[in-house]
Amino acid sequence: MEPVDHHIVSLVQSSDGIKRVVNEMDFFADDRSSKQHDKADDDVHHHHHVKTESEHHGADQDDDVNTGLNLLTTNTASEKSSVAGDGITSSQNLKEKQRVNQLADVRAELGRINAENQRLKLTLNQVNSNYYALQMHLVSLTQRHRNRIAESSEANTQMNRPIEEKTHGEGMAARQFMDLVQTETKAENDELSESSSEDRCQELSGSPGNTIVESMERRQKNNTSRNQREDTPEGLPHPAGWLSNKGPKFNTSKDNEQAQQTMAMIRKARVSVRARSEASMISDGCQWRKYGQKMAKGNPCPRAYYRCTMATGCPVRKQVQRCAEDRTILVTTYEGNHNHPLPPAAMAMASTTSAAASTLLSGSMPSADHGIMNSNIVPKGMLPGSPNLITLSASAPFPTVTLDLTHPPNQRPLHQLHPLSPNWPHNISSFPAHLLGHPIYNQSKLLGTYLSSQGNNELPVHLSQNQMQGHPMVDTAATAAAITADPNFTAALVAAITSIIGNSHRDNSGNNNSTTSRNTGDNNT
């Protein structure tokens, strides 16, 4: 650690230049030096600063001390003239010195903080570089690993299907949901296995998605491409799986019927976040327009309905309502998937939280599918060691991922989701350029693949409060503290997970988000 006083120079130099730095520093040197002449027995504090001042100025600035005096000689001279024999003036002079000392202390503190900030930035850049290199390596390794797993899991998936077809109710729904998640994993593996590494890189650079739902849709599309509804204006397959359980069936195949139902359910999947916030709505990087408000039963607080307005026809909606039991808790429920690239503010968290969802839904956690079948709100944490952080609900007609982030930052196990420790000091601003500005699920795939391969449910997340609010990244050092205490993070987290759960319309329904026909309110996600 560098000496504190050195940072004073460093701070001022970086802002104003050396010459002005000297002048500024001379302001105090002059003042104090003159006071030293006036009063022999200065207090220890004062003397300390004079000494340190001379130390960090160094020999190369000795000549400048006198030149700086010119700016302040008036006061100094007047002080000298007035001090002699005047007790009152002497006390004023003492106060003046104390103020100067305080100012010097503040400057020293600022300098020290600034220097530490610079040092952290350097460290951050180094770690980012290492992280990215490692990440790329892991992607390749993970790909091979998952290909092997896919081969072995294919048989199990097919064996489970007859049993599931006999199941009814929400248990069935949940099972289907999780099963499809698992099969999705295989589909993804198949797809990935067919693509070269270059293709994957290309995919990272813009091709939409590889989310669970999307891949399921692709598979379904392959199976039922000629049986899909064409009631959307563009002739694209109706997003619809939302309406599949009441609309005309696409074909008579039982598998396809089941697939339709499952797709509907998956599309209905929601992500709910509970976070403490005084604001009426937490910002998550997206633009929302309120289109309705209703009083929900059992809750005196109204429920507000928002839809994403970042792109025309974006089907993503969210509901915001305060918790009836604790009105400081804001419950935000996201539904649907964006049909547009997310802004960095939202994508930052999306890149990591979607990985959380990928891991969460990947079936890698053995207890997940059991819990989802048998409980309303699964009391089991989907992330080991974080029992209250993420839960899945199957009681609703659609699966819901619930993130309870209402615990205080120092109590909740949020670090397991985004360990902001030096282990993961990266942030969005230092992501490789080709990863920035791309659909979140690509990054989620990247990270999710990594996490799955590692058997690690911890998610590297590093977001700043500024990012959450759509502002440029300013300080990375303060990010960690900001995130853990920022409810915006939670909302962003939810948006990201929502994106990967329902992100299915980039390729086959990206344009079919016809604005708000009466019955498409639910099926456009």
Partner DNA sequence: CGCTTTTGACCTGCGC
Partner DNA sequence: GCGCAGGTCAAAAGCG
In the complex, which residues of this chain contact DNA (CB under 7 A)? 243, 246, 287-298, 303-305, 309, 317, 319, 397, 515-522
Cα distances (Å, whole numbers) of residue 520 to 13, 238, 241, 319, 475 = 61, 9, 11, 17, 43
Nearest to DNA of 294, 434 (CB atom) = 294
Question: From the CB of 389, what's the least distance to DNA, in Å?
Answer: 23
| Two structure tokens written together for 198 | 């270059």
Between 57 and 318, name the residue whose CB sits nearer to DNA.
318
Cα Rg, the chain, nearest whole Å: 30
Within the chain, how many helices (H) and strands (E) appear?
A: 15, 7
CB of 217 to DNA, least distance (A): 20
Least distance (Å) from DNA to the CB of residue 244? 11
Phi and psi of 300, rounded to 5°?
A: -70, -15
| Distance of closest approach, residue 491 Cβ to DNA, in angstroms | 15
198 exposed, middle or buried (CB, 10 Å; 0-12, 13-18, 19+)? exposed
Q: Decide whether 86 or 291 has the Cβ nearer to DNA.
A: 291
Least Å distance, CB 280 to DNA, is 8
Looking at the Cβ atoms of 335 and 369, the one nearer to DNA is: 335
Nearest distance in Å: CB 453, DNA: 36
Q: How far is the CB of 401 from DNA (least distance, A)?
A: 15
Please identify, using beta-carbon distances, which residue of 265 and 349 lies nearer to DNA.
265
CB 393 to DNA: min, Å:
13
Amino acid 427 reads: N
C-alpha dihedral, 455 to 273 to 290 to 350, nearest 10°: -20
CA-closest candidate to residue 164, choices 178, 185, 154, 151: 178
Angle between helices 44-57 and 87-165 (to 10 degrees): 70
As measured in angstroms, the least distance from the Cβ of 49 to DNA is: 48
Smallest gap from residue 232 Cβ to DNA (A):
14
Amino acid at 262: T
What is the rounded distance in angstroms from the CA atom of residue 414 to the CA atom of residue 398?
26
Nearer to DNA, 114 or 309 (CB): 309
Residues 211 and 190: their CA atoms lie apart, in Å, by 14
Give whichever of 334 and 424 is closer to DNA, judged by the CB atom: 334
Q: Minimum distance from CB of 291 to DNA (Å)?
A: 5
Give me the helices (H) in 166-196, please.
Answer: 169-194
Residue with smaller CB distance to DNA, 226 or 297 = 297
Q: Which is nearer to DNA, 250 or 398 (CB)?
A: 398
Given a contact cutoff of 8 angstroms between Cβ atoms, the answer to whether 458 and 416 are in contact is yes
321 contacts 337 by C-beta, under 8 angstroms = no
* Cβ nearer to DNA, comparing 265 with 446: 265
d(CA 463, CA 427): 6
Closest distance of CB 438 from DNA, Å: 25
SS3 of residue 486 by DSSP: coil
DSSP strand pairing (288-295 vs 390-393): unpaired
Other C-beta atoms lying within 10 Å of the C-beta of residue 180: 26
Q: Choose between 89 and 287: whose C-beta lies nearer to DNA.
A: 287
Question: CA 17, 19, 21, 25: dihedral to nearest 10 degrees?
Answer: 180
Two tokens at 488? Answer: 């915006």
Minimum CB–partner distance for residue 511 and DNA (Å): 17
Find the angle CA(492)-CA(470)-CA(439) to the nearest 5 degrees.
60
Sequence-ordered list of residues with C-beta below 8 angstroms from that of 250, at least 6 positions apart, any chain: 224, 227, 228, 229, 244, 256, 257, 260
166 or 246, CB closer to DNA?
246
Report strand pairing: 270-276 vs 302-308. unpaired
List alpha helices for 58-207, DSSP H. 62-83, 87-165, 169-194, 197-204
Angle at alpha carbon of residue 474, lines to 468 and 475, rounded to 5°? 100
Task: Identify which of residues 20 and 294 has a Cβ nearer to DNA in the complex.
Answer: 294
